[in-house]
Amino acid sequence: MTSNAEWWRGAVIYQIYPRSFFDSNGDGIGDLKGITEKLDYVASLGVDGFWVSPFFTSPMKDFGYDVSDYNDVDPMFGTLEDFDAMVARAHELGLKVIIDQVYSHTSDQHAWFQESRESRDNDKAEWYVWADARYDGSPPNNWQSVFSIPAWTWDARRQQYYMHNFLSEQPDLNLHHPDVQDALLDVARFWLDRGVDGFRLDAINCGMHDPLLRDNPPAKAPDRNETRPCFMQTPKYNMCHDNMPQVLERLRAVTDQYGEVFTVAEVGAAEPLPVMKDYTYGGKRLNTAYGFEFLSTTDLTVEGVREILEGWPGEEGEGWPSWAFSNHDAPRVASRWLKDLDHSHRVRLIALLQFALRGNAFVYNGEELGLTQATVPFERLQDPEAINNWPHTMGRDGARTPMPWTNDDAPHAGFSTVEPWLPVDDEHRSMSVAAQHEDKHSTLHFFRSMIALRKSSPALQIGSLEFIDALKGVLAFKRVTDGETVLCVFNLGADEVAWSPDNASDFTVIAGVGDTVTGEKPPAMLGAYSGYIGFESDG
């Protein structure tokens, strides 16, 4: 195990979607006690820590990302005491705890917004983004929200529009206002004082708008078949303001007072790379960032992977990348990539790649089981995006269905004793934790072995990434630190190819998928859809 002082650099972080992880009290919804009850399982994966999606007090219009009280737990998830117990147990097991912080917007039921909307001259009048109507009564500009509606809603109390990049029930905070920044920093202190080890900053690039309220330009090549109008414009002015790094520096100054606190930005932007680089630059902002490059792609190609990785060459002052292949906002990767492959082969090849990459690896609960995107009938849909766009998108509900814990006669695959908030997919029952734990050749055991391999290797955790020129369809690179070099090779094509790196004989295959054999030298012929990780041989 590496002696890396920055525990988060190269870490594997397990994402827990609390509504769907484990229901401890029989109401059909997962909760904090349920997480605590299953932390031995999380620790058994070998991960460094876990990130819990929102559990704060909320009307649940967007399932917790509409926060009405930043400093409390919603009763459906438990209490602050339950949270403290979860943190304590996690730390006993050597797990770090990362929680979401939603700083770009609140619920319209938050006390701050309730006060702000009452008048134009109260103490919180400017805590949100308010604007007068245009001369004809229409919204101030053409900004569109992510949820297929204009980004402005009229409020009769103030006789003004308020801005929202998401649902109308999620008004945007005005992070240009120093008092808003101060209030959010107090929120960070509240949770740091309770022992959390890091924050995932939700949609943080949406936290600042253009004060001039200029219209967004049309997209360079708008797709008229888009299901959402926000993709028909370039979101130049409703997000990604140049002053946001100053806010992040203020946050970093707070987190640095608490030791090695991990901070990661979620960046969903038309051109995310410059924003992620900006938010993590120079060691005074955030530790790392991730975007939707892998989450939004519908297939896995050498060219696509290489282009994404080349954006983070490790230059002076550059931040550290993070990668998620699945999460609660995207269809599961097992249903997006390499769909013509056998399921077991597919998910192993994807995992082998993920744990070979330079950067942090986020594993979404159920990904270690190889869960596919669940089928949720229309009458059971919960997600407003899925309902609005049905049946033209896969939606988010299919990635949020309950974790299957058992494959016996227990109802709902052991997630709950009652009908859960989303149905358990029948296909997932056979992929349950219990079934895979008993099968030493399962996807679960493969994930455990890959995480252990990564943690044993400084090169895989924190090493540089050096590409090797290879044949078309072959992705090859080395992970390098002082004293260790690891060879990573992937044939992502449908044909067998004759290729190996010049010094292949210096390495021994430690992990492989496809025709590669562990314990032997790298093969001269790469089988279709195969890959291996090789360590330098002794002597």
State yes or no: pLDDT of 222 exceeds 70.
Answer: no
Pair 264, 286: CB distance under 8 Å: yes
d(CA 352, CA 424): 27
d(CA 460, CA 359): 9
What's the number of CA atoms in the CB half-sphere (13 Å) around residue 28? 7
d(CA 14, CA 98): 10
Give all strands (DSSP E) within 17-139, no chain letters.
Answer: 49-52, 56-57, 69-73, 96-101, 130-131
Pair 45, 368: CB distance under 8 Å: yes
Strand 497-498 and strand 507-513: the pairing is unpaired
Mean pLDDT value of segment 353-358: 98
Mean pLDDT value of segment 61-89: 98
Record the pTM: 0.96
The domain spans of the chain are 12-107+178-452, 463-536
Pair 357, 323: CB distance under 8 Å: yes
d(CA 371, CA 342): 13
d(CA 176, CA 447): 43
* Tens-place pLDDT, residues 444-487: 999 999 999 999 999 999 999 999 999 999 999 999 999 999 99
Domain 12-107+178-452 belongs in CATH node 3.20.20.80 = yes
- CB burial class (10 A; 0-12, 13-18, 19+) of residue 502? exposed
Q: How confident is the model at residue 496, as a pLDDT?
A: 95
Over pLDDT 90: what percentage of the chain?
90
State yes or no: pLDDT of 2 exceeds 60.
Answer: no
Run of H or E residues at 63: none
Q: Please, which residues bridge with residue 263 across strands?
A: 199
**519 or 400, higher pLDDT:** 400
The catalytic residue positions are 202, 266
Distances (CA, A) of 157 to 120, 130, 133, 183, 442: 9, 12, 14, 24, 59
Q: Please, which residues bridge with residue 512 across strands?
A: 532
CA 40 to chain centroid: 22
Tokens of 456: 């044993």
Domain 463-536 belongs in CATH node 2.60.40.1180 = yes
Identical fold between 12-107+178-452 and 463-536: no
- Give φ, ψ of 123 to 5 degrees: -60, -25
Distances (CA, A) of 303 to 221, 341, 464, 473, 492: 22, 20, 19, 8, 10
* Tens-place pLDDT, residues 151-167: 999 999 999 999 999 99
* Tens-place pLDDT, residues 361-410: 999 999 999 999 999 999 999 998 788 778 777 679 999 999 999 987 78
* Tens-place pLDDT, residues 293-348: 999 999 999 999 999 999 999 999 999 999 999 999 999 999 999 999 999 999 99
d(CA 293, CA 477): 20
Q: How confident is the model at residue 1, as a pLDDT?
A: 35
State yes or no: pLDDT of 223 exceeds 60.
Answer: no
* Residue type present at position 536: E
d(CA 31, CA 24): 7
Give all strands (DSSP E) within 137-202, no chain letters.
Answer: 152-155, 160-163, 198-201
Pair 433, 38: CB distance under 8 Å: no
**SS3 labels along 267-303:** CCCCCHHHHHHHHCHHHCCCCEEECCCCCCCCCCCHH
Pair 198, 188: CB distance under 8 Å: no
